[in-house]
């Protein structure tokens, strides 16, 4: 919305590190970051929705308003979101507190869409945001994050520590400035084979090697 440019710019003037952009995201980026989401994704957690550029797109994709939880720490944006998306759950809170403020029973969330300026945050904060978000994501769920940077905004040691992997979805070159979207998912779990493992009479390898080879293919 044209009006959003001014309110966004004013918010950025008052808190540049928190807002992290001088203008709301454009249509190309909203299209890209929501591309893999549909009505069947189920509950969606949106972090840092700002004026709702991604929220509008999620609704257009068929996500039900009651399936949307919007986490925004800017009070000006939060009030705007409450007016614009009355059917959604809009929470005025810091996304770094996701682990301390229970949002759901269990882990029903199908996707997290994040507009948070992760590059402006401490590593500790990024870890608490990701741990909290993934605690609500169901198996197979994904966390979508955009960045203006040239690589994934979550550093490799943080991905390793949390057991996550990141993959570039695509770049939105038409956005101003151009941006990239990354999909973060859990790494597949290693399964340990336990119990006795009887070698086949024809097997020529020692049983210990045999068992180890199977574990390594998982
Ligand atoms: C770069 S803007 C993105 C806004 C919107 N998603 C868009 O793309 O137009 C970052 C947003 O994250 C919010 N934000 C920053 N830190 C936050 C935090 N710790 N918890 C919740 N929201 C935060 C800001 O207030 C702002 O609305």
pLDDT tens column, 95-110: 999 988 899 999 999 9
Ligand 1 mutation pick, 9, 15, 47, 50, max ligand atoms within 8 A of CB:
50
Q: What is the pLDDT of residues 51-110, one digit of tens each?
A: 999 999 999 999 999 999 999 999 999 999 999 999 999 999 999 999 888 999 999 999
Please name the residue whose Cα sits nearest to atom 8 of ligand 1: 25
Handedness of CA 186, 188, 190, 193 (dihedral sign): positive
Please name the residue whose Cα sits nearest to atom 16 of ligand 1: 18
Residues 6+ apart with CB under 8 A from 40: none
Q: What is the pLDDT of residues 131-187, one digit of tens each?
A: 999 999 999 999 999 999 999 999 999 999 999 999 999 999 999 999 999 999 999
From the CA of 77, how far away is ligand 1's center (Å)?
9
Q: Locate all alpha helices (DSSP H) within 62-203, ordered by sequence.
A: 75-84, 123-136, 156-162
Are 159 and 69 part of one and the same domain?
Answer: yes
Are 44 and 133 part of one and the same domain?
Answer: yes
Are 120 and 137 part of one and the same domain?
Answer: yes
Are 79 and 123 part of one and the same domain?
Answer: yes
Instruction: Tell me which DSSP letter residue 95 carries.
Output: G
**Ligand 1 proximal residues by C-beta, below 6 Å:** 18-21, 24-25, 47-50, 53-54, 71-74, 77, 94-96, 115-117
Please name the residue whose Cα sits nearest to atom 4 of ligand 1: 50
Are 183 and 201 part of one and the same domain?
Answer: no
Are 178 and 198 part of one and the same domain?
Answer: no
Task: Write down the residue that tokens 């400035």 correspond to.
Answer: 177
pLDDT band at 195 (very low <50, low <70, confident <90, very high): low
Are 85 and 175 part of one and the same domain?
Answer: yes
Question: Which residue range(s) make up the domain with 22?
Answer: 2-187
Whole-structure pTM value: 0.88
Are 109 and 164 part of one and the same domain?
Answer: yes
pLDDT band at 190 (very low <50, low <70, confident <90, very high): confident
Index of the ligand 1 atom closest to the CA of residue 96: 19
Are 206 and 128 part of one and the same domain?
Answer: no
From the CA of 164, how far away is ligand 1's center (Å)?
22
């Amino acid at each position: 919305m044209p009006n959003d440019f001014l309110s966004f710019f004013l918010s950025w003037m008052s808190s540049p590190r928190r807002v992290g952009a001088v203008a709301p995201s454009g249509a190309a980026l909203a299209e890209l970051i929501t591309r893999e989401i549909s009505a069947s994704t189920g509950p969606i957690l949106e972090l840092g929705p700002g004026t709702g550029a991604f929220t509008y797109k999620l609704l257009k994709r068929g996500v039900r308003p009651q399936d949307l939880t919007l986490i925004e720490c800017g009070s000006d944006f939060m009030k705007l979101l409450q007016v614009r998306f009355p059917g959604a759950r809009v929470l005025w809170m810091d996304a770094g507190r996701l682990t301390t403020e229970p949002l759901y029973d269990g882990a029903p969330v199908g996707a997290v869409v994040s507009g948070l300026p992760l590059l402006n945050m401490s590593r500790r904060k990024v870890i608490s945001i990701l741990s909290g978000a993934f605690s609500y994501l169901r198996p197979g769920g994904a966390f979508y994050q955009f960045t203006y940077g040239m690589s994934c905004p979550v550093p490799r040691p943080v991905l390793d520590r949390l057991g996550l992997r990141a993959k570039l979805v695509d770049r939105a070159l038409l956005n101003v400035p151009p941006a990239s979207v990354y999909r973060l998912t859990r790494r597949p779990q290693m399964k340990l084979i336990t119990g006795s493992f009887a070698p086949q009479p024809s097997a020529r390898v020692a049983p210990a090697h045999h068992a180890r080879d199977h574990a390594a293919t998982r």
